[in-house]
């Protein structure tokens, strides 16, 4: 039986819940309808999150994104709704959804929405020296 769009997001246990790590997804085929004209709007979605106990399953995410194809939605509303749904399903430590909509009427629109688990603070990033051992840095 062929796949169908679905609003239900499936999850699975985080294989490394003891560690903060980032999951990055690029979803280049998002589409919905302009609520004013009914014309299609297209966007690339960039989803980044630090999972807590559960992660989103990719096929269900694909079907979820597909479920917006025939729905009218303002860019701001659909981006925030998707973030709310994803955060509710996965309860991440941190999640950021960036929706980069294609040009419409000469205007590119990017909407960015974020969610943070109460009390979560990101780890301080470690910066490693990229200079091979034993070689002096330029200008040294």
Residue 53 makes CB contacts below 8 A (sequence gap 6+) with: 13, 14, 17, 91
Which position among 20, 32, 41, 48 bears the catalytic label? 41
Q: How far apart are CA 119 and CA 115, in angstroms?
A: 12
H or E element at residue 64? helix 58-66
Which position among 34, 48, 52, 85 bears the catalytic label? 34
Is 34 known to be catalytic?
A: yes
Question: Which residues are identified as catalytic?
Answer: 34, 41
């Amino acid at each position: 039986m062929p796949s169908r769009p679905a609003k239900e997001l499936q999850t699975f246990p985080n294989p490394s819940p003891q560690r903060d790590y980032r999951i990055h997804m690029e979803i280049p085929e998002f589409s919905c309808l302009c609520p004013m004209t009914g014309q299609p709007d297209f966007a690339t979605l960039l989803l980044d999150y630090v999972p807590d106990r559960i992660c989103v399953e990719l096929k269900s995410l694909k079907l979820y994104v597909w479920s917006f194809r025939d729905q009218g939605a303002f860019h701001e509303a659909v981006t925030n709704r998707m973030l709310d749904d994803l955060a509710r399903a996965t309860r991440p430590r941190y999640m950021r959804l960036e929706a980069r909509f294609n040009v419409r009427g000469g205007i590119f629109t990017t909407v960015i929405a974020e969610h943070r688990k109460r009390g979560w603070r990101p780890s301080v990033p470690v910066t490693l020296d990229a200079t091979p051992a034993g070689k002096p840095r330029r200008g040294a």
